[in-house]
Amino acid sequence: MKLRNLSSEGALVESAKLPIEGTAVEFRRNELSTNGRVVWVNGNYAGIAFDEQLNPEQVLRHIPAPRQKVQQRPYRPGIMPRNMTPAQRRLAESWICSPASSRPGE
């Protein structure tokens, strides 16, 4: 079962096998343990409402630090056509030969 969201009132979980709505559950993650109830199920997702509200320190302890996003570098085909795929060659030719722009050297 994967934890998708956690708040002081409940949790969003994902799994191929989920209990039906209304089922009493014990929610556990690492040292956190609390009772709750499945309040909705939709496909592989279920919402769990906790019987008692968690304090914010408990919740924040179980939220992982955000991962750094990899910056995508913009792609621009090279000038030498020998390493281009046919799709890249068509893109370069359409860019070079477009009527709206002047050709290099003109």
- pLDDT tens across 29-56, in order? 888 889 999 999 999 999 999 999 988 8
Alpha-carbon span 92 to 62, nearest angstrom: 49
pLDDT on residue 101? 53
Q: Where are the alpha helices (DSSP H) in 1-106?
A: 56-61, 86-96
Alpha-carbon span 35 to 70, nearest angstrom: 38
Structural tokens at position 31: 């040292």
pLDDT on residue 93? 80
Architecture of domain 2-61: Beta Barrel (2.40)
Q: Model-level pTM? A: 0.56
pLDDT digits (tens, 9 = 90+) for 69-88: 877 777 766 565 567 788 88
pLDDT on residue 79? 62
Q: Which is nearest to 58 in space by CA: 8, 3, 5, 4?
A: 8
Domain residue ranges in the chain: 2-61
Structural tokens at position 69: 């996003």
Residue type, 47: G
Structural tokens at position 70: 């990899």
Among 5-9, 38-42, 94-98, the minimum mean pLDDT is found in 94-98
